[in-house]
């Protein structure tokens, strides 16, 4: 029997020195990986992985967004390195994994199999699973497939890769909020194809012509990087201007989107909530997230009221925004004591 529907709304925090505000958390200091490797997971794919923090600490795994985004070093800073054994990996085709931007043998179920291979390789029984945006999609899918291996879940910017969610951000909805950026993204595609922008971009980023691929990838990635924060972050925009990042990001995202994340039904993650209902979980979502609108998060919350939902009043999509960052770190601190 599920518990009553409750949630917490986190008020805005406007301060010069946030570390002085009671209960407000900032990231842990940078920490270097003490172990790295390349794991061959198929005849085609080899994934990069790394471990940082305390070798004897509580295991956790970070599942990055995109899909295709890769794991930057700053993700390690959301965990207390004295308490956690922090595992990260770049999903197939992303980051340092090889081959870059490869779409063959690249499905949600391939990624879940990779997570299990990595868990076994590192001799980990259970771990805390942490993921935002597409990382929340993959975290839900993994934990529903392997609830016995999931100690707790920390999720941010809920995304279930349903057609209506993809349409909101990439076809029409967010154009009402970022019209000037949307015009650049939309106008790259000829008018005759604009009724399906995701499909039009997918055709271009999978073109045999490298110039066509790159131009489309830069426009696709620029749209997402320019809208992820409540206030546009020039560093995010600059990140999207890296050609290798842009191409893997755009190719893999559109590949998953046109295939519905390879789920059996659009509501698979909602239909399988009972498999994870008793796993401790915290969900953090920005009120003004235009990449992954909060309506999706609310639908998940209604199906899974046992999870602790934190709605951050003055945030968009990015995990680096102060209110979201603070709530994520509070959650990882809490689960370090499990």
Give the whole-angstrom CA distance, residue 300 versus residue 191: 36
Q: Angle 271-275-156 (CA atoms, 0-180°, nearest 5)?
A: 75
Give the whole-angstrom CA distance, residue 2 versus residue 57: 32
Kindly give, in sequence order, each residue whose CB lies less than 8 Å from that of residue 42, ignoring residues fewer than 6 positions away. Answer: 105, 110
45 given a catalytic annotation: no
Q: Angle 313-327-91 (CA atoms, 0-180°, nearest 5)?
A: 110
- Identify the DSSP state of 98: B
CA nearest to 74, candidates 310, 329, 300, 308: 329
Of 114, 289, 314, 315, which one is the catalytic site residue? 289
Number of alpha carbons in the 13 Å side-chain half-sphere of residue 79:
31
209 given a catalytic annotation: no
Cis before 185? omega within 30: no
Give the whole-angstrom CA distance, residue 301 versus residue 30: 33
Of 133, 174, 228, 248, which one is the catalytic site residue? 133
308-312 and 8-10 beta bridge pairing? parallel
The answer to whether the beta carbons of residues 170 and 195 sit under 8 Å apart is no
121 given a catalytic annotation: no
**Token pair 């370090």 is at which residue?**
336
**Token pair 């770190």 is at which residue?**
329
The residues facing 181 across adjacent strands are: none
β-sheet with 84-89: strand ranges across:
8-10, 308-312, 281-286, 150-156, 127-132, 58-63, 84-89, 46-53, 33-40
Of 301, 317, 318, 326, which one is the catalytic site residue? 317
Catalytic (active-site) positions: 133, 289, 317
């Amino acid at each position: 029997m599920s518990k009553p529907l409750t949630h917490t709304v986190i008020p805005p925090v406007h301060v010069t020195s946030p570390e002085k505000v009671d209960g407000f958390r900032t990231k842990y200091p940078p920490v270097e990986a003490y172990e790295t490797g390349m794991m061959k997971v198929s005849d085609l794919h080899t994934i990069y992985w790394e471990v940082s923090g305390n070798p004897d600490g509580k295991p956790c795994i970070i599942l990055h967004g995109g899909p295709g985004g890769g794991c930057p070093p700053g993700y390690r800073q959301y965990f207390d390195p004295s308490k956690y054994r922090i595992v990260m990996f770049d999903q197939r085709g992303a980051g340092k994994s090889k081959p870059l931007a490869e779409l063959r043998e690249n499905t949600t179920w391939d990624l879940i199999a990779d997570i299990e291979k990595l868990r076994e390789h590192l001799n980990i029984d259970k771990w805390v699973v942490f993921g935002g945006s597409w990382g929340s999609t993959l975290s839900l899918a993994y934990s529903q497939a392997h609830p016995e291996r999931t100690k707790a879940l920390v999720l941010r910017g809920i995304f279930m890769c349903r057609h209506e969610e993809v349409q909101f951000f990439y076809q029409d909805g967010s154009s009402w909020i970022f019209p000037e950026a949307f015009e650049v993204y939309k106008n790259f595609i000829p008018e005759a194809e604009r009724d399906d922008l995701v499909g039009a971009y997918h055709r271009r980023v999978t073109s045999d012509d490298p110039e066509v691929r790159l131009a489309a990838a830069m426009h696709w990635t620029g749209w997402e990087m320019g809208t992820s924060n409540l206030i546009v972050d020039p560093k995010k925009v600059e990140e999207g201007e890296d050609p290798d990042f842009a191409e893997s990001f755009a190719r893999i995202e559109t590949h998953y989107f046109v295939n519905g994340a390879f789920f059996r039904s659009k509501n698979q993650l909602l239909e399988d909530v009972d498999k994870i209902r008793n796993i401790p979980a915290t969900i953090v979502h920005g009120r003004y997230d235009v990449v992954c609108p909060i309506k999706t998060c609310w639908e998940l919350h209604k199906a899974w009221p046992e999870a602790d939902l934190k709605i951050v009043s003055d945030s968009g999509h990015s995990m680096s925004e102060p209110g979201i960052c603070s709530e994520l770190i509070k959650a990882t601190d809490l689960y370090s004591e499990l």
